[in-house]
Amino acid sequence: MKNKHTNPLLGKEIEFLNSQQALLWKRAAYELARATRKKREVNLSELQRYSKDGETILALGKVLAAGSLKNKLTVAAWNFSAKAAAAIKSAGGSTTTISELIKKNPKGTGVKILG
């Protein structure tokens, strides 16, 4: 697939995701390759509503700070707003990039997708 993104880091991330064997990462690549106006956003309220304490979440898009979060989660996403990242950390969770999550969990077992 030819890299047609204006953000070279995003293009490299998509290529890296497509090179993985697990279908989870190929789906993430597909979502990140969408047009900007169709990209997904995940709010803290959605993380709270659809997750349980201790889960690993893959947010397909940007994580935004609308709502509150009480669950201790590991959240991987392409981008986080500053307030969302701070809220996740203050709830006892952690934020990570998708590439770092792949290095820790290449098969994607136990990862929940939101977005």
> Could you report the per-residue pLDDT of 99-113, keeping only the tens digit for each?
999 999 999 899 999
Asked whether residue 23 carries a pLDDT value surpassing 60, the answer given is yes
DSSP secondary structure string, 11-73?
HHHHHHHHTSSSHHHHHHHHHHTS-GGG--EEEHHHHHHH--TT-EEEEEEEEE--S---S--
Asked whether residue 3 carries a pLDDT value surpassing 70, the answer given is no
In CATH, the number for domain 8-114 is 3.100.10.10
The predicted model scores a pTM of 0.85
What are the tokens at 13? 């991330």
Q: For the segment 38-95, what is each residue's pLDDT rounded down to a tens digit? A: 878 999 999 999 999 999 999 988 999 999 999 999 999 989 999 999 999 999 999 9
Cα(first)–Cα(last) distance of the chain, in Å? Answer: 23
pLDDT at 40: 84
Asked whether residue 18 carries a pLDDT value surpassing 70, the answer given is yes
**Measured on CA atoms in the order 67, 69, 73, 79, is the torsion positive or negative?**
positive
Q: What is the DSSP letter of 1?
A: -
- With a CB cutoff of 8 Å and minimum separation 6, the contacts of 35 are none
Q: How far is CA 34 from the centre of its chain?
A: 14
Each domain of the chain, given as residue ranges in start order, spans 8-114
